[in-house]
Amino acid sequence: MAQCNICYRKCTIEDGGTGFCKVRSAKNGVVYPLNYGRITSIALDPIEKKPLSRFMPGAKILSVGSYGCNLRCPFCQNYEISWSEEAYSYGTEAQVISPEELAELSFRYKDQGNIGLAFTYNEPLVGYEFVRDTARLVHEKGMKNVLVSNGMASREVLEEIVPYIDAMNIDLKGFTDNYYEHLLKGNRQMVMDFISEAVRHCHVELTTLIIPRENDSEAEMRELSEWISSLEDDTGNNVGKDVVLHISRFFPRFHMTDRAATDVACIYRLADVARENLNYVYTGNC
């Protein structure tokens, strides 16, 4: 048996078994990722699609995903490769690409405007070893690395990858423990700690998906944006007011089809609330 230290669960995994995310297993008492190099999705995307609005705007970036996730969002937009039953069967049959091959592929697309590689679509950090190994090689080719993550990972994991990451978009899905624990099966404090540390090392933008009747109150948005505005860099200077927040509209999907899409007026109203504390607030899916 071995203990995984990716997130707050610290799953104890038997040899041949898996943890909560279904992609971390154990062999001879050592935890390893089953999804190492297994690529389910790849596309050359505008960087704004990550979304990143204030990091190399107008650029394109080769975006890759594997499978697996350590949250259980019922509204997941990428459930086919995240945590549905199909995700694990599909993922285990996915094409295996080595870090060297993927880094070379990203370089090959440079003449099409590609600036590097984005780890996205599923939760990249459940297989952080592949992110680390590939991102290092991408940097050696003089290109950029982007991470799109739910932020539910330990400081140890962040320290492994952050030397090679140039920008992140991190989900801050809501601002109550009840929302994170009961609906998402996650831990808000771990995400907040991850964000607080990440802003000390690279460009960070945040995304909050607004779910009707869950996290759509002005009071919660005010508290969330106030916290973001308090973030500091590694010298103690306030940088939070300039951290970008993307406020996105929900559409019924996966296991959450019991409510309509978020009202557009609600998104614009919450964006105005966030602008009381933040300099850069963008609306999405409107």
Q: Which CATH number do you get for residue 71?
A: 3.20.20.70
> Which residue range forms the structural domain that includes residue 241?
37-284
Q: Is residue 272 part of a domain?
A: yes
Beta bridge partners of 170: 149, 206
pLDDT at 89: 85
Q: Is residue 27 part of a domain?
A: no
Distances (CA, A) of 159 to 65, 116, 132, 136, 163: 21, 21, 10, 13, 7
pLDDT at 274: 98
Q: Is residue 140 part of a domain?
A: yes
Instruction: Provide the number of structural domains found in the chain.
Output: 1
Q: Is residue 106 part of a domain?
A: yes
Whole-structure pTM over 0.75, yes or no? Answer: yes
pLDDT at 139: 98
- Picking from 161, 167, 96, 169, the residue whose alpha carbon sits closest to that of residue 134 is 161
Q: Is residue 29 part of a domain?
A: no
Q: Which residues of the chain have pLDDT under 70?
A: none
Q: Is residue 9 part of a domain?
A: no
Q: Is residue 4 part of a domain?
A: no
Q: Is residue 190 part of a domain?
A: yes
pLDDT at 88: 85
